[in-house]
Amino acid sequence: MMDKQKIYPRSKDRETVYLKNVVTDPAVIVGDYTMYNDFVNDPVDFQKNNVLYHYPINHDRLIIGKFCSIACGARFLFNSANHSMTSLATYPFPVFFEEWGLDINHITGAWDNKGDIVIGSDVWIGYEAVIFAGVAVGDGAIIGTRAVVTKDVPPYTIVGGVPAKPIRKRFSDDTISALLTERWWDWPEEKIARNLAAIQSGRIDQFK
């Protein structure tokens, strides 16, 4: 079973990491077994290369569930990347508070704060996909390659495109409902191992 401190899931693979064990920012919360693969940069540097505009002053969080698969170059774009849409100017005057004699405590007024990014469990995020601040991605969803996700994604829904739009549901409504009730990713490891054949063959009726 999982070594809670293990970084590399596979002994000869240094391009794939258990993400929970390489992030250090307490505002980046990752569940067990979620993995990130990067064949361009060191995957250990996920926090620096993939979690962008994530400044402590804004107090926003990236929350990722268990058993997620995150492909190379997927990025999470936080609130500080925004510019205020209510201002008459797009220029972020509060960021340059020294130049304009503004109060440093009002720096977050330079952008619109849309909240945390929350990713459910068993989510697959494709190559170079971008997920925007304030977005919630439901359990079991799939984010297509280079999709730009600006709105919430329902559970077990495949989305793609720019901006990302639903393509189809992965399963029937009854199966989705049953999966969201079972929440297999929260089972003890021994029970998951016992049910791997049923999980991999798509047979929720064979769960035991």
pLDDT in tens, 161-184: 999 999 999 999 999 999 999 999
Instruction: With beta carbons less than 8 A apart as the criterion, state whether 19 and 64 touch.
Output: yes
Counting Cβ atoms within 10 Å, is residue 149 exposed (0-12), middle (13-18) or buried (19+)? buried
Counting Cβ atoms within 10 Å, is residue 15 exposed (0-12), middle (13-18) or buried (19+)? middle
From residue 165, how far is each of 41, 115, 142, 175 by CA, in Å? 29, 21, 11, 22
Indicate the pLDDT class of residue 2, thresholds 50, 70 and 90.
low
Listed residue (180, 133, 147, 134) closest to 71, CA to CA: 147
Active site residue 54: no
Instruction: With beta carbons less than 8 A apart as the criterion, state whether 97 and 57 touch.
Output: no
Mean of per-residue pLDDT scores for the chain: 95
> Region 180-194: what's the mean pLDDT?
96
Eight-class DSSP state of 61: -
- Beta-bridge partner residues of 132: 77
For CATH 2.160.10.10, list the domain ranges present in the chain.
16-84+112-170
Q: Is the peptide bond before 26 cis (omega within 30 degrees of 0)?
A: no
Q: What is the pTM of this model?
A: 0.93
16-84+112-170 — its CATH code?
Answer: 2.160.10.10
- pLDDT, one tens digit per residue, over 71-94 is 999 999 999 898 988 899 999 999
